[in-house]
Structures are given as C-alpha cells and as structure tokens.
C-alpha cells in the first residue's frame, strides 16, 4: 500500500486490516496526542478560536502547566495546532487550530458530545455494577 493510499483509507478499514493496531504504525502517535485525556480537551477548547496558554490552562480544569505544554507540543508537531509567538514583552503566545486541526477537532467534539449525552446511562450502569459487586461480597 502506498503512502497516499494509507493517508486516504478510512480508519475503520485500516482497523479491520489491523494496521493501526501494529506497534510501528505512525498513526499511533497521532492517536496518542489527539485522544489523550488532555489532547481531547485542548482540541475542544480551541474549536472556539485562538487562545493564549493561560486561557487554555484556566478553561481546562486540572491540567498542569507541564502537561498543557507537552500536549500543545504534540498537537503542534502533528500539524493540528498552530503556535504564534508575538515579539512583545511580556511574551504573548497564541494557539489555534490549523485546517487539519479543525477537521480533527470536529471528530473529537462529536465523541465528547456522545459521552455527555450518554453520561446518565453510563453512570447508571456504573452504579448498578458497583451495587452488584457490593452485594456479592456481603
């Protein structure tokens, strides 16, 4: 399979063939960056437009400076996020989605929407399983 064919073959078809499941598949790094705990949230926040580092940190509860920096570097390295540094004092750096990043963020946002819509059912199942496990131990 050529590189062009790999780039334009739908993920579902690639999964069926097992390429994405291969340890040496380059898409694994992109999946790691996009679908990490923080990668998803960064992409969702940037859907609304350009943000400074401090804005992103405020909007994404619980993320440390180090993790935000690493997440942004990974997404930038994959071409999903653009970093623009303005030559002023104090430093002014802005982050936004690239066209590729907007496309990816739309997919991630759909997943987040599904989770939020289904969360009551998911929590109910968790509660039932916890009750069942508790009843089995007593």
Asked whether residue 58 is domain-assigned, the answer is yes
Q: Which domain holds residue 118?
A: 36-137
Of the pLDDT bands very low, low, confident and very high (cuts 50, 70, 90), residue 4 is: low
126 vs 21, residue with greater confidence: 126
**Alpha-carbon distance 71 to 111, whole Å?**
19
**Alpha-carbon distance 5 to 108, whole Å?**
23
Residue pLDDT, tens place only, 85-116 = 999 998 899 999 999 999 999 999 999 999 99
Count structural domains, the chain. Answer: 1
Query: What global pTM score does this model have?
Result: 0.79
What CATH number does residue 118 fall under?
1.10.10.10
Report percent pLDDT > 70 for the chain.
Answer: 89
Asked whether residue 53 is domain-assigned, the answer is yes
Query: Is it true that the peptide bond before 90 is cis, omega within 30 degrees of 0?
Result: yes
Q: Which residues contact 39 (CB under 8 A, 6 or more apart)?
A: 32, 33, 71, 74, 75
Query: pLDDT at position 46, please?
Result: 98
Per the listing, tokens 């993790």 go with 67
């Amino acid at each position: 399979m050529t590189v062009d064919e790999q780039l334009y073959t739908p993920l579902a078809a690639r999964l069926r063939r097992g390429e994405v499941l291969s340890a040496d598949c380059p898409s694994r790094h992109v999946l790691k960056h996009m679908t990490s705990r923080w990668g998803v949230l960064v992409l969702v926040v940037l859907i609304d437009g350009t943000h400074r580092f401090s804005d992103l940190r405020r909007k994404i509860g619980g993320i440390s400076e180090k993790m935000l920096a690493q997440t942004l570097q990974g997404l930038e390295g994959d071409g999903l996020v653009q970093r623009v540094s303005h030559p002023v004092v104090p430093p002014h750096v802005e982050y936004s989605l690239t066209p590729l990043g907007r496309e990816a963020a739309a997919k991630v946002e759909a997943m987040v929407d599904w989770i939020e819509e289904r969360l009551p059912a998911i929590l109910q199942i968790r509660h039932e399983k916890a009750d069942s496990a508790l009843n089995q131990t007593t």
